[in-house]
Chain A
Amino acid sequence: MQHKRTIAGIALAAAAIVTLAGCSATSSASTTKDDTNWKTATSAEASGGMDALVKAAKAEGQLNVIALPPSWANYGKIIDGFTKKYGIKINSANPNGSSADEVAAVKSQKGQSTAPDVLDLGNAVLQENLDLLTDYKVANWDDIPTDLKDEDGAWTRDYTGLMSIGYDSSKISDAPKDLQDLLGSEYKGKVSIAGDPTQANQAASAVYLAALENGGSADDITKGVDYFGDLKKAGNFQNVLPTQATVASGETPVVIQWSYNNLAWGPAAGASGNKNWKTVVPEGQALGSYYSQAINKDAPHPAAARLWQEYIASPDVQNLYLQAGAFPSTLAALEKSGKVDQDALDAAGGAPKDYVELTDAQVADAAKVLSAKWSATMGS
């Protein structure tokens, strides 16, 4: 059956959960030969040092990651680099999944060898699921600013982008300066956002930005919803999910999304990108939002999971984020130590100085507005 029946789909998923929960999985050894229990290790230093961690991770031989699209913030290269550096195989599940999918997988596959080891979560989901995570501090813990990490190491912010407008310069002659420009007739049927804001964090962030730019605020995003209502009334809103493929083919000529995704889908992607794709961070108040790295407390490969955190926080990989236009959390330390990839930083427009990030309480309030107003405003 190609066009799936919803009920059957949900049923199958539930069946998988039920039957999978029934069979006891053989999880990988959680202790290594040196008697270090990496499952509870809170730093490499406290548990035999970095060499011991690398050795234990290699012995585990595998790492399960989830919801990391290869074209998102350079994850394709980051994943390949880990395997090349340590010889550890990465099983990448559901690359286009959401943060909620990650949490669902942690819960439903608990105790099995296929459960995700490490997570990359949006804030709203992170705050609801702190009990699934375990504490771990990477070697360069001090490089991460205090407000970008949990004090015990349950999570660390990894990277942020700025909300930006990507556009196909072969179809749009004048570069848009701000979101107001997108209401013009030149943009008829051309503007899309990355999903449904009641579902996807990135799409919701486009609404937050619209609020900031149109007299609303981080406390009240109603004006952002109104803006998209106007965009729809003008016939400019395109109700389709943009992907790297739709950008490359010209199907979605204007996309409001994170700067690192707009940059990644342009000339940087080579043959699979759109060589005319340009990225603009709109004038006015900028908006960012960090994602967070965390370790599943029941990770089937606890040492590899911790090694992944060390790898992610290392200058090389932080620069890989930067090369995709995502600003890594240790950016200030990298600039100070001179390890920053200066060309990449310049290409990304320099370190973001003054941007707004919604607090957890503001995100919760925004969710209420979206829930009440979005589908009424945008429904067809």
Chain B
Amino acid sequence: MTTASAGAPAPAASAPATSATSGVLPTSARASADAVRRGAAPRVRRRVGLAWLGLTPFAAYVLLFLAVPAVIAVGSGFFTDDGAFTLSNLAAFAEPSVLRAFGGSFGLSAVSAVIGAVIGALVCWALSALRPDGLVRSMIDSAASVLAQFGGVMLAFAFIATIGAQGLVTTWLVSVFHVDLNANGAFLYTVPGLVIPYVYFQVPLMVLTFMPALEGVKTQWGEAAATLGASRATYWRRIALPVLAPAFWGSLLLLFANGFSSFATAAALISQGGIVPLTIRTQLTSETLIGLQNVAGVLAFGMVVVMAVVMGAYSLLQRRAARWQR
């Protein structure tokens, strides 16, 4: 991917042009920008120019490596191999195997998100009783940041080594309690079995996203409620839970999206399809079903639609939740 660096000079070159047209900054050099800062240029407008300058490389990166490819990938679903526009690939959404894959993805994401959100919220609640700058809190915070990103082949291996057919826990349970986790075939290698590794990265993500909301709940509110004669239960029912609800549902949606878009963990664990990302892989790389590459674009389109709806709802809820976090 040496071309990644080839893209870098472009934003740098375009940046001065942006600021020049905004009419606030003299053409390029930082020294002259400092001169302006000491001078009489209006503060707010100068900030805007500099902000754009800083954002441009990232924006160009996102455009080149996310937006453009996503449009091309999804767009491929609406063309034939010969490049003619077609809607016929949309027929894939009527195929039972594709519907089953979407069903599998929805089920897996929903179940792992609900379990992750409930456990994560309880962890946050327990943590909120600790000092924010204490050792335990900061350790769990940093652990959550790391573990929320711990997925893919490493995570799959960790679970194969513990609850796989030969796993440490599996063999220990058999030898000590005569309980076989995998009596009906290895559970880990089924779509429902994927919930276990998924929850492993869903819980830390919940801790990361829900903790700020819990921190926004001021102790004074509890005291005020108590002063007015409210019981603890009333306080939770009438004040804390309604305040926390948008943040909870928002985090739940984020977890759903996280599970919906995961690929590598599932790919490393199960070999017979079952969820949409694996179906897309099959269509892109199949040796036996030829000519489905463009149908993969349509499935990607389906995933994008689901993600757009979920993330749209998330940002709405997040806006409500943010009201109490100032």
Contacts and interface: CB of A to CB of B under 8 A. Distances in A.
Interface of A: 1-16, 18-20, 22-23, 97-101, 104, 122, 124-125, 128, 188-189, 192-193, 195-201, 203-204, 235-241, 249-251, 363, 366-367, 370-371, 374-376, 378-380
A72 B4 CA distance: 34
A218 to B, nearest CB: 15
Interface residues of B, number: 67
7 cross-chain pairs, A with B, having the tightest CB-CB distances, nearest first: A3-B151, A11-B69, A189-B185, A14-B69, A375-B97, A15-B69, A6-B277
B298 interface: no
Given A237-B185, A250-B166, 14 more contacts: A2-B264, A4-B262, A10-B280, A10-B284, A11-B70, A15-B65, A15-B69, A101-B285, A124-B288, A128-B291, A199-B287, A239-B189, A367-B288, A378-B272
Of residues A11, A13, A188, which shows the largest number of chain B Cβ atoms within 10 Å of its Cβ?
A11
A100 B287 contact: yes
A191 B103 CA distance: 26
Contacts of A378: 272
A274 to B, nearest CB: 12
B273 interface: yes
A379 B102 CA distance: 12
Contacts of A4: 152, 262-264
Nearest to A121: B287
B286 A235 contact: no
B113 to A, nearest CB: 14
Of residues B68, B152, B155, B287, which shows the largest number of chain A Cβ atoms within 10 Å of its Cβ?
B287
A55 B64 CA distance: 43
Contacts of A200: 286-288
A20 B277 CA distance: 25
A240 B269 contact: yes
A14 B270 contact: no
B160 interface: yes
Contacts of B303: 6-7
B186 A189 contact: yes
A5 B185 contact: no
Contacts, number: 200
A124 B238 CA distance: 65
B273 A15 contact: no
Contacts of B149: 1-3
Given A3-B263, A11-B66, A379 B284 contact: no
Given A239-B190, A240-B270, A240-B271, A251 B165 contact: yes
Given A10-B73, A239-B189, A379 B100 contact: yes
B271 A198 contact: no
Interface string B294-307: 00100010011001
Interface of B: 1, 3-4, 6-7, 64-66, 68-70, 72-73, 96-97, 100-101, 104, 149-152, 154-155, 160, 164-166, 182-186, 189-192, 201, 261-265, 269-274, 276-277, 280-282, 284-291, 296, 300, 303-304, 307
Given A7-B303, A240-B271, A98 B285 contact: yes
B184 A189 contact: yes
Contacts of A8: 66, 261
Given A376-B97, A380-B191, A99 B152 contact: no
B269 A379 contact: no
Contacts of B277: 6
A124 B182 contact: no
Nearest to B259: A3
Nearest to A3: B151
12 contacts: A1-B151, A4-B262, A7-B303, A10-B70, A10-B284, A11-B73, A188-B184, A198-B288, A203-B271, A240-B269, A363-B288, A367-B288
Nearest to A239: B189
Contact of B72 (A18, A99, A374): A18
A235 B185 contact: yes
A2 B150 contact: yes
A21 to B, nearest CB: 10
B273 A198 contact: yes
A198 B271 CA distance: 11
Contact of B155 (A2, A15, A20, A201): A2
Contacts of B300: 6-7, 10
B3 A124 contact: no
B274 A189 contact: no
A144 to B, nearest CB: 23
Given A2-B154, A240-B270, A375-B97, A100 B65 contact: no
Contacts of A379: 97, 100, 104, 272-274
